[in-house]
Amino acid sequence: MEIQKHHRPGAPRQLELKIENQLFYTDQQYWTGTELKAKAGIPMETELFLSIQKPYQDELIENDTRVNLARPETEYFYVKKKLLYTINKVEFTSYKQYIRGSQIREQGKISPEDEIYLDNKEGWEDDPILDDEFVDLARPGKEHFYSKRIGTEIILIINGRDRSWSKKTISFAEVIHLKDGTGENGSKAYTITYTDGHPQNPSGEMAKGEVVRVKNQMRFYVTATDKS
């Protein structure tokens, strides 16, 4: 079955249909709900409706429903529950309530070197969105996402002193080395705790060999004790 968005001059007369304001032509008289959704990129679990003139109610089109497109006038199909959001000021539509950070990155063509944020109301800190994090698009208002280049240098505060750092993560050994530039002493045991961290790990205690995600002004507390 061949479907085109533009009628070809001189071609046999074709039937028109609209799905979510997209105009299509077809020479096939009957379409199923599955075919309609597939053509418009609508998930199969989403409810699709056929617009009917008032005072009659619009018709719910199930996936196996066959619709006659040869009736008078152009048939118009639409989705009632769709959610709008923007990525770097470009508008997108979702038919699902939740979107994953990695999907936002893919749709917005955002570099892995950039971080994704959810724009909050003025006066409130914007939320960083991780790739494996889900965001609820059904909350009041339209969600606005934007990307921001990760700075080449951030400040980590270790035992009250500012230290420059240029990577997304830091290891147990690197925290100790960053503290005073000498690294681990084999005769000592180290305890590292942190606060004001990345949303992925806002606070906690690091184990030897562990790596955590960092953010600007993240605080680390390093304690060294002699091994018995």
pTM: 0.52
pLDDT digits (tens, 9 = 90+) for 100-146: 999 999 999 998 878 899 998 877 778 888 888 889 998 888 999 99
Listed residue (182, 164, 161, 179) closest to 222, CA to CA: 179
CATH architecture of structural domain 83-149: Roll (3.10)
Domain-wise residue ranges, the chain:
15-78, 83-149, 154-226
The answer, yes or no, to whether residue 202 has pLDDT greater than 60, is yes
Give the tens place of pLDDT for each residue, 48-89: 999 988 888 889 999 999 999 988 888 999 888 888 999 999
Distance between CA atoms of 188 and 178, rounded to whole angstroms? 16
pLDDT of residue 122: 77
Instruction: Indicate the average pLDDT of the chain.
Output: 86
User: What are the tens digits of pLDDT across the range 206-217?
Assistant: 998 899 988 889
pLDDT at 181: 78
Please give the Cα distance from 15 to 154 (Å, whole number).
60
Distance, in Å, from the CA atom of 93 to the CA atom of 143, rounded to the nearest integer, reads: 11
Domain 15-78 annotated CATH 4.10.240: no
Q: Read off the pLDDT of residues 139-170 as tens digits, 9 standing for 90 and up.
A: 888 999 999 877 667 899 999 999 988 888 89
